[in-house]
């Protein structure tokens, strides 16, 4: 059962959702905007203006970095949606998954930390030391992007070697997923349903562990069709024991859509490339009935909505597209990092928001009923 029928969602639901404001407040905000005031009829008839107005008011936990620029992007997206040319590229760890752990109220699990749940106490301690050493570098606003890439590469390589040395199995990983307590953000499945209904492509592009993401979707989602997953994929031996990772590895600052497009182009071109991709680049999980990007080789006619929780996620769409809206979940150190996030993302979500505001944007950009 999904959240509510599309015809009843937007903009009529604006006045009843807890994150929405009264009509009078929206109209008051609209008068202060550069576009001038608009009447109740226009508010109801124009979902783009309704979205901009609703989230231009402070204290909603939704920050519009450049409202006028976003307005134009939304209008462009609506035209692309009419042509069916909309794609979603979404990070997993602390984007699809919730940042705050329900039980401890601290930082929630990631796919790497779930895998660490299968480690011995000694190996788990070493993994924790790696996190304490490298995570502050990931979010340090004083470090350049080149410096961040260097440190993330080291973190990933060292963490992967721990996994190999631990000798864990696929069955242990499945048990770790069940015990992890990981929670998907509220309304993510509604968002997935939105993409499925309209046949919009959706790619989960993660620096996490593809095999664990797949197991999480199997255990947490009720819908049969899961998103396509493009992430670090494990190598198993005949007994199901982890013996390595497929190359190249992805971390938060080097995952790029161009690498995905190139892989699909290689697969399309010739049998030799298909064999090479199967041997060396087996990090695409395309489950039966998935709603992935399929054979995406060109993107010039696509409108892409990119969603993530790090500054690196804002750089994922590195290919030419018709339009791109970037949404960033700012999970921690909000005061220190908000300025940098506003520079990179069109919309910044704070306070461990669910996918409600994302759905609002989707209906503003893509719904015509």
> Cα separation of 36 and 178, whole Å?
52
* pLDDT tier at 251, thresholds 50, 70, 90: confident
pLDDT at residue number 78: 95
Q: What is the mean pLDDT of residues 150-161?
A: 91
Long-range residue pairs from 306-309, CB within 8 A, at least 24 positions apart, any chain: 306/88, 306/89, 306/90, 307/88, 307/89, 307/90, 307/91, 307/95, 307/358, 308/90, 308/91, 308/95, 309/91, 309/93, 309/94, 309/95, 309/99
Residues in the chain: 369
Tokens representing 178 are 């069940």
The whole-chain average pLDDT of the chain stands at: 80
310-342 residue pLDDT tens:
998 999 999 899 999 999 999 999 999 999 999
pLDDT one-digit tens code per residue, 80-124: 999 989 999 999 999 999 999 877 778 899 998 899 888 999 998
Q: Provide mean pLDDT across the span 195-223.
A: 92
Question: Rounded to 5 degrees, what angle do the CA atoms 154, 156, 160 make?
Answer: 120
Q: SS3 helix, strand, coil % of the chain, rounded to 5?
A: 50, 15, 35
Residue 21 CA to residue 55 CA, distance in Å, equals 9
Question: What confidence category does residue 2 fall into, taking pLDDT thresholds of 50, 70 and 90?
Answer: very low
Lookup: tokens for 108: 């929630």
CB-neighbour burial class of residue 59 (10 A; exposed 0-12, middle 13-18, buried 19+): exposed
Instruction: Dump pLDDT digits (tens) for 125-143.
Output: 999 999 999 999 988 989 9
Among residues 326, 291, 335, the alpha carbon closest in space to that of 308 is found at 326
Element spanning 326, H or E: strand 323-330
Which pTM was predicted? 0.79
Examine the pLDDT at 16 and tell me if it is beyond 60. no
- The domains of the chain, with CATH numbers, are 1-60 (no CATH), 111-179 (1.10.150.340)
Structure tokens of 204? 């989960």
List, in order, residues 6 or more apart from 139 with CB less than 8 Å away: 310, 332, 333, 337
Q: Does the structure show a pLDDT above 80 at 287?
A: no
Q: Which two tokens stand for residue 211?
A: 């095999």
E strands, 141-250, where?
Answer: 201-209, 228-232, 234-236, 242-245
Give the whole-angstrom CA distance, residue 368 versus residue 124. 51
Q: How confident is the model at residue 264 (pLDDT cuts 50, 70, 90)?
A: low
Q: Assess whether pLDDT exceeds 50 at residue 216.
A: yes
């Amino acid at each position: 059962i999904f959240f509510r029928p599309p015809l009843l969602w937007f903009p009529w639901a604006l006045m009843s959702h807890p994150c929405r404001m009264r009509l009078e407040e929206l109209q008051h905000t609209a008068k202060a905007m550069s576009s001038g005031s608009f009447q109740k009829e226009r508010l109801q008839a124009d979902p783009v203006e309704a979205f901009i107005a609703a989230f231009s008011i402070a204290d909603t936990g939704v920050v519009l970095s450049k409202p006028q620029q976003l307005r134009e992007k939304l209008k462009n997206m609506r035209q692309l949606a009419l042509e069916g040319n909309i794609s979603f590229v979404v990070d997993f760890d602390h984007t699809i998954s919730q940042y705050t752990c329900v039980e401890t109220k601290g930082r929630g699990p990631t796919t790497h930390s779930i895998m660490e749940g299968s480690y011995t106490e000694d190996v788990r301690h070493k993994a924790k030391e790696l996190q304490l050493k490298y995570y502050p570098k990931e979010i340090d606003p004083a470090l350049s992007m080149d410096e961040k890439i260097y440190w993330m590469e080291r973190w990933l390589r060292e963490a992967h070697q721990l996994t190999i040395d631990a000798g864990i199995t696929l069955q242990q990983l499945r048990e770790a997923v069940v015990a992890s307590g990981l929670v998907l953000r509220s309304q993510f499945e509604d968002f997935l349903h939105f993409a499925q209904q309209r046949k919009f492509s959706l790619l989960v592009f993660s620096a996490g562990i593809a095999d664990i993401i797949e197991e999480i979707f199997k255990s947490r989602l009720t819908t049969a069709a899961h998103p396509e997953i493009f992430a670090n994929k494990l190598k198993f031996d005949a007994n199901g024991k982890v013996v390595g990772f497929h190359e190249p590895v992805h971390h938060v600052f080097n995952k790029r859509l161009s690498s995905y497009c190139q892989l699909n182009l290689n697969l399309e071109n010739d049998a030799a490339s298909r064999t090479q991709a199967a041997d060396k680049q087996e990090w695409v999980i395309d489950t039966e009935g998935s709603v992935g990007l399929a054979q995406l080789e060109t993107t010039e006619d696509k409108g892409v909505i990119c969603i993530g929780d790090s500054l690196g996620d804002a750089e994922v769409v590195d290919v030419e597209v018709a339009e791109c809206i970037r949404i960033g979940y700012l999970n921690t150190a909000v005061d220190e990092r908000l300025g940098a996030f506003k520079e990179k993302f069109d919309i910044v979500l704070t306070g461990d928001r669910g996918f409600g505001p994302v759905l609002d944007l989707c209906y503003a950009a893509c719904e015509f009923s």
